[in-house]
Amino acid sequence: MIVVDCKDVKKVYQQGEFKVHALTDIDLKINKGDFVCLSGPSGSGKSTLLNLIGGLDKPTSGEIIVDGERVDQLDKTRLAEMRLHKIGFVFQAYNLIPVLSARENVEMVMQMQSIPKQERFDRAMGILKEVGLEGMEERRPSELSGGQQQRVAVARAIVSRPSLVLADEPTANLDSRTAINLIELMLKMNSEHQTTFILSTHDPLVMQKARRSVVLHDGVVASDAPVNS
CA distances to 42, 66, 88, 214 from 97, in Å: 27, 27, 16, 32
Per-residue pLDDT band at 70 (split at 50, 70, 90): very high
| pLDDT at residue 57 greater than cutoff 90 | yes
Residue 86 sits at the vertex; the CA angle it makes with 81 and 5, to the nearest 5 degrees, is 105
- Give residue 142's domain range: 97-160
Condensed to tens digits (0 to 9), the pLDDT of residues 177-192 reads 888 888 888 898 899 8
195 and 178 share one domain: yes
How far is the C-alpha of 11 from the C-alpha of 24, rounded, in Å?
Answer: 7
CATH number, domain at 65?
3.40.50.300
In a domain, 91, yes or no: no
Q: How confident is the model at residue 196 (pLDDT cuts 50, 70, 90)?
A: very high
135 domain residue, yes or no: yes
Residue 92 maps to a domain? no
The number of domains in the chain is 2
User: Confidence band (pLDDT; 50, 70, 90) for 14?
Assistant: confident
Which of 160, 189, 204 terminates a domain? The answer is 160
Asked if 143 and 102 sit in the same domain, the reply is yes
**CA 225/CA 75 separation, integer angstroms:** 34
Q: What is the pTM of this model?
A: 0.91
- If asked whether residues 171 and 80 sit together in one domain, one would say yes
Same domain, 133 and 178: no
- Domain membership of residue 119 (yes or no) is yes
Residues 174 and 123 in one domain: no
113, 160 in Cβ contact below 8 A? yes
Indicate whether 79 and 186 sit together in one domain. Answer: yes
Write the secondary structure of 155-187 as one string of H (helix), E (strand) and C (coil): HHHHHCCCCEEEEECCCCCCCHHHHHHHHHHHH
CA dihedral 43, 79, 66, 167 (to 10 degrees): 40
Which of 107, 132, 160 is the last residue before a domain boundary? 160
